[in-house]
Amino acid sequence: MKKIMLGNEAVARGLYEAGCRLVSSYPGTPSTEITEYAAKYDEIYAEWAPNEKVALETAIGASVAGGRSACCMKHVGLNVAADPLFIGSYVGVGGGMLIIVADDPGMHSSQNEQDSRHYAEASKLPMLEPSNSKECIEFVKAGFELSEKFDTPVIIRLCTRISHSQGIVELSERAEHELVDYVKDPTKRVMTPANAKPRHIIVEQRLNNLSEFADNCDLNTIEMNGNKPDIGIITSGTSYNYAREVFGDSASYLKLGMVFPLPENKIKDFVSNCSRIIVIEELDDYIESFCKKIGIIVDGKNLLPKTDEFSQDLLREKLLGIKSESVSVDDKIPGRPPVLCPGCPHRGVFYVFKKLKLYVSGDIGCYTLGAAPPLSSIDTTFCMGASVSSIHGFNKIRPELTGKSVAVIGDSTFMHSGITGLVNLVYNKGQSTLVILDNRITAMTGHQENPSTGRTLKDESTYAVMPEDVALAVGVKKEHIRTVDPLDIAEFEKVLKEELASGEPSVIVCRRPCALLKGVERLPAYHVDADKCKSCRACMTIGCPCISMTDGKAKIDETLCTGCGLCIKLCRFGAINGGNK
């Protein structure tokens, strides 16, 4: 059957058809939907783990038990999962195992651009890279075969334009995959130095075998156009699509479906039949470096950038010198950056931070938008969990700022990697304050459950790990664990001031569900009485997208207003009315 399918959905379909039994992942754009779609198949057990390291170790355990398993993440997730990644390489597999990682060239929704291909090389694991939805299904299946044939986990590399593009796919039935027998074998699975030494030798041998496979497999395809073509293009993944679009039949192609290990002989063979070679790859000069290492002269990053994503337009301009023509209006078009939603429970918290002029050690989630004007109240955002660990370092150097600084983290991010930072804070006699924004969901990536929500990915109810309980368990004193409603900004400000002054490590949990969450009631909208409005713009300092100045007076867009009531607390003239007031 033919269907149009999102790349991520196709990956999930591939998992289903290949008889995969377990998927454990942590969400992250652009990888999230793979696991969500996988969870829709009754035959696949799928779960959200608290972070990528836990997810990968879970998948490894399932593989040891003999079932086909997978673990999905965004590129930075692989940093978190790097420890089990490297050891998984030594241990090999029982049932086939895939590590599916989605890069984000162009940073559509990420804090950095990172090229995952280096991880394949460093961990000595084969890596496949599909270039469309159809290949997403095929390569997942090929990946499992490869995994079992060579006793190795296999990495599938995606990127935003593959994960989030729909294309036509061909569906087949699920082929159940028998459990592989479990036989106890400490020499293979207990990685002490004595056992790991021989395993390393096996890994190197495996790599040689995989290189030979790469040279002969049909994942790497050559398409020759003409006898001695002028241009030969070596490329992979989404770059292949752009290259094909621009050069059509006027060039020849070596399309690499397997990007590690690279097929040395096939590359040499291809090169010998072309007059000029161009390597087209997003981000790093990974294929190019390999070509140079084996003595092949190529064009690549001398012409194309190492930053941002590619497109047919970019290739046309950089490789053919053709610039696109376009029209535009003469006015300056104001940018439209993402903003916290109307009624977002995070908004008031950042308003208070700004009012108190605090140093704010931020983290990653919807609340990172607290850094944008007019709230502009975040000082740092690094990687998940870094808010609490880095404020500890900051305050050790500047203890006088302990009462003037705060760390802020979301519920999912706290469960992901904030807990260990809090342990460190308590253990090493820190005095910092951590604000946990518990909106009862992982919102940023599109509303995933997490350990504190009380529901699983399979939509069952489960134990809810409450941040207050965690804080108590790791040694924050009970009187310094506070819970507030973030819409009550006066109460939050009071509690925050008390805890900042306490000289003790403290945790304030701001609990209110995300405004977009199903079942969250929308209250009646507010409006501004134009005669009472003194145009002071006080209500506009919270950055609610419903409020704008129209004809010199504040105006609320009543179709968008959720009636959260935050703005009325800022108006000193009683001009904002309606709602539940």
Residue ranges that bind ligand TPP, judged by CB under 6 A: 26-28, 74, 76-77, 80, 364-367, 384, 410-413, 437, 439, 441-445
Give the range of 18-26, 81-89, 177-185, 558-566 binding ligand SF4 by CB under 6 A: 558-566
Per-residue contact flags (x/-) with another protein for residues 323 to 352, judged by CB under 8 A: -xxxxxxxxxxxxxxxxxx-----------
How many angstroms separate the CA atoms of 123 and 145, rounded? 19
The two tokens of residue 532 are 């009472």
Shortest Å, Cβ 551 to another protein: 13
- Please give the torsion angle defined by the CA atoms of residues 533, 539, 541 and 544, in that order, rounded to the nearest 10 degrees: -130
Does 344 bind ligand SF4 (CB under 6 A)? Our answer is yes
In terms of Cα–Cα distance, which of 433, 379, 434 is closest to 411?
434
- 85 is a contact residue toward ligand SF4 (CB under 6 A): no
Binding characters for another protein, 13-52, by CB under 8 A (x = yes): ----------------xx-xx-------------------
Min dist. Cβ of residue 537 to another protein (A)? 7
Work out what residue 564 binds among ligand SF4, ligand TPP, another protein, none; the CB cut-off runs from 5 to 8 Å by kind: ligand SF4
What's the min distance (Å) between Cβ of 336 and ligand SF4?
A: 15
Whole-Å CA distances, 140 to 8, 68, 329: 11, 11, 46
Check residue 551 for interaction with another protein (CB under 8 A). no
- What is the phi/psi pair of residue 545, to 5°? -65, -10
Buried b (16+ CB within 10 A) or exposed e, 510-546: bbbbbbbeeeeeeeebbbbeeeebeeeebbebbbbeb
Decide if residue 489 touches ligand SF4 (CB under 6 A): no
Residues 6+ apart with CB under 8 A from 145: 96
- The residue range among 53-61, 232-240, 272-280, 557-565 that interacts with ligand SF4, by the rule CB under 6 A, is 557-565
Alpha-carbon distance of 564 to 515, in angstroms, equals 9
Interacting partner of 322 out of another protein, ligand SF4, ligand TPP, none (Cβ under 5 to 8 A depending on kind): none
Say whether the peptide bond before residue 374 is cis (omega within 30 degrees of 0): yes
Give phi and psi for 87, each to the nearest 5. -80, -30
The backbone region for 165, taken as left when phi is positive above 0, alpha when psi lies in -120 to 50, beta otherwise, is beta
* Residue type present at position 481: I
Among ligand TPP, ligand SF4, another protein, none, the one that 565 touches (CB under a kind-dependent 5 to 8 A) is: ligand SF4
Residue 250 CB, shortest distance to ligand TPP, in Å, is: 41
Q: Say which entry of ligand SF4, another protein, ligand TPP, none residue 6 contacts (CB below 5 to 8 A, set by partner kind).
A: another protein
Q: Are 169 and 13 in contact (CB under 8 A)?
A: yes
Q: Is 17 helix (H, G, I), strand (E, B) or coil?
A: helix
Tokens of 568: 């009325």
Q: Tell me whether residue 372 or residue 538 sits nearer to another protein (CB atom).
A: 372
Query: Among 443, 484, 496, 500, which residue interacts with ligand SF4 (rule: CB under 6 A)?
Result: 443
> Which listed option, ligand SF4, another protein, ligand TPP, none, makes contact with residue 442 (CB within 5 to 8 Å by class)?
ligand TPP
If binding is defined by CB under 8 A, does position 241 make contact with another protein? Answer: yes
The sign one gets for the Cα dihedral 511, 515, 521, 522 is positive
Q: Which residues bind another protein (CB under 8 A)?
A: 4, 6, 29-30, 32-33, 108-109, 132, 161, 164-168, 238, 241-242, 244-245, 311-313, 324-341, 366, 369, 372-374, 444-446, 537, 540, 543, 545, 547-549, 559
